[in-house]
Structure 1
Amino acid sequence: MRLFITTAVAALAIAGAAAAQTAGPAPAPAAAPAAPASGQYISVSGGFIGKADYDYGFANGYRFEGDVDAGGQGAVAWGSALGNGWRGEVALGYRSQKSSGVLTTNGGAQFDFDGGKVTTFSIDLNGYYDFPVAGPVRPYLGAGVGVAQVKIDDGMLDDKGDALTLQGIAGASVAVSPRVSLFAEGRYQFTGAIKVKTTSGAGDKEQKLNMTGPGGLVGVRFAF
């Protein structure tokens, strides 16, 4: 929790500094009917997060292999243009996915668990480059780093932990007015290492989990 809060405060401070750099007289409008090339924006998006898997052990030697189903995700971001096609943003994200898994004992017996859930709250610093093409459609590439708080409740483990997040982004936006753009993007998202603790008759065991999977978002961006 401390890592999550510290990163959130730092991210907001960086975003404020970036916003201050863009303050001042508005730039001349671009010839192409695209969103303003400088200034700040707010975006809202929703989409899916793909399948993932994870595994962990217990102090008594038992192992649990979990599968996370595809689920939904959403994000709200505040960003600012940095010039020459570059922009940066602070994004708050939420993901919700169902999970299942198999517990294997020391003797090789296996037990199935269904009806679990994995939820993730994240705050990310994302950077983008919008390619300078003519027309209302503008492709872009991006990358992000941040921190997430992941809660796992899969029938054997009920715990949450902070983790580093990394993501690669590719998408395109289309301007529907000088200040409003629609966008769609694909993401490859990594979350780990998630610190959790398992408990058994032999005692507690601390360990780290990783989750990696594809995702996608569609949304709207409002410039101001």
Structure 2
Amino acid sequence: MFELKSKILLATLTGALLAGGAAVAQEAGDQAGFYARAYGGISTLSDTKVSVGVSSASGKFSGSTLAGGAFGYDYEGPWRAEIEYTYRSSDVKVPDSFAGGGDYASTAILVNGLYSVGEVGPLRPYVGAGIGFTREVDFDLTKQKGPSAPPSSAVGSYSSSGRLAYQAIAGAEFAFGDRWSGFGEVRAFAIDSPNLSGPGGKKLRADYQTFDVLVGVSRRF
């Protein structure tokens, strides 16, 4: 389902890039310069199978958070380029026989290209895409509480770094000053094949695909 949503979003963004209308788009972003952004929001991690060695279970995620920032350059015209650093974290629920719970988190550094598609009243809609790598992906599985809790070989902290990460972006911003603006975005984000290493050489496998909703502020320099 996530792959289908991602393909639909990517196709929509590509169509917008091709048919956005250069004459209208040139109206936005007509002053070149550097900018910085800060944002936060909700990151919905898709439910997935969690495998540790030969054991596996269905993982259901909740309590998702997202926070990050970016520094970029707004070119004279519709294009912007930026580098971002974003943290995501989600609580996980798995069957009691597998583990008592835990969380799945990541920090990622991506380079984004953003394209303004014109102006709608006070709003400046834009689309974009990004690619980069993870600084860290971390999956912690905790023990069940209580003296009668069954043992589990899956419990432990599993991590990896340097995995390929990519995303599609759609958003809109609005100015509320000469240098300040606010914005809102939706994103489809994924990490490629996050196989994680844990205690005693154990390996954990779980897909990492999110749908994000975020808001933030931007300041031009």
* TM-score of the aligned structures, taking structure 1 as reference length: 0.72
Q: Which residue of 2 aligns with 1:209?
A: 206
Q: Please state whether the residue corresponding to 2:97 is helix, strand or coil.
A: strand
Paired residues for 1:88-167 under 5 Å: 88-102=81-95, 111=97, 113-133=99-119, 135-148=121-134, 149-155=136-142, 156-162=155-161, 163-167=163-167
Residue 181 of structure 1 is matched in structure 2 by 181
The corresponding residue for 2:45 is 51
Cα offset, 1:192, TM superposition:
2.5
Q: How many residues align?
A: 182
How far did residue 83 of structure 1 move?
3.2
- How far apart, in 1, do the equivalents of 2:132 and 2:196 lie? 19
Between the aligned partners of 1:38 and 1:57, the Cα distance in structure 2 is 48
Q: How far did 1:113 drift?
A: 3.0
**Partner Cα distance (2:169, 2:175) in 1:** 19
CA shift in 2, pair 1:36/1:77, >3 Å: farther
Post-superposition CA distance 1:14-40 (Å, at most 9, x none): xxxxxxxxxxxxxxxxxx8x7763100
Shift of 1:54: 3.2
Partners of 1:111 and 1:77 in 2: how far apart? 41
Identical-residue share of aligned pairs (%): 28
Question: In the alignment, what sits opposite 1:25?
Answer: none
Structure 2 unpaired stretches of 5+: 1-26, 143-154
Provide the alpha-carbon RMSD of the alignment. Answer: 2.5
CA deviation vs aligned residue, 1:82-117 (integer Å, no higher than 9, x gap): 332100101111112111213xxxxxxx71534301
Alpha-carbon distance in structure 1 between the residues aligned to 2:169 and 2:36: 18
Offset of residue 216 of structure 1: 1.0
Work out the CA distance in 1 between the residues paired with 2:75 and 2:123. 20
Letter of the 1:161 partner, please give it.
S
Cα offset for 1:141?
A: 0.4
| 1-structure distance, mates of 2:203, 2:98 | 23
Q: Tell me, which stretches of 5 or more residues in structure 1 are unaligned?
A: 1-31, 103-109
Distance 2:100 2:56 in 1: 16
Letter in 2 for 1:50: T
| 1:68 matched residue in structure 2 | 61
Q: Residue 219 of structure 1 aligns to which amino acid in structure 2?
A: G
Cα distance, 1:185 vs structure 2: 0.6
User: How does the TM-score come out when normalised to structure 2?
Assistant: 0.73
Whichever structure has more strand as a proportion of its residues is 1
Distance 1:114 1:83, change over 3 A: farther
User: Which residue of structure 2 lines up, in the alignment, with residue 4 of structure 1?
Assistant: none
Q: Which stretch shows the higher mean deviation, 171-180 or 63-72?
A: 63-72
Amino acid at match of 1:100: K
Q: 1:119 to 1:56 in 2, by over 3 A?
A: closer
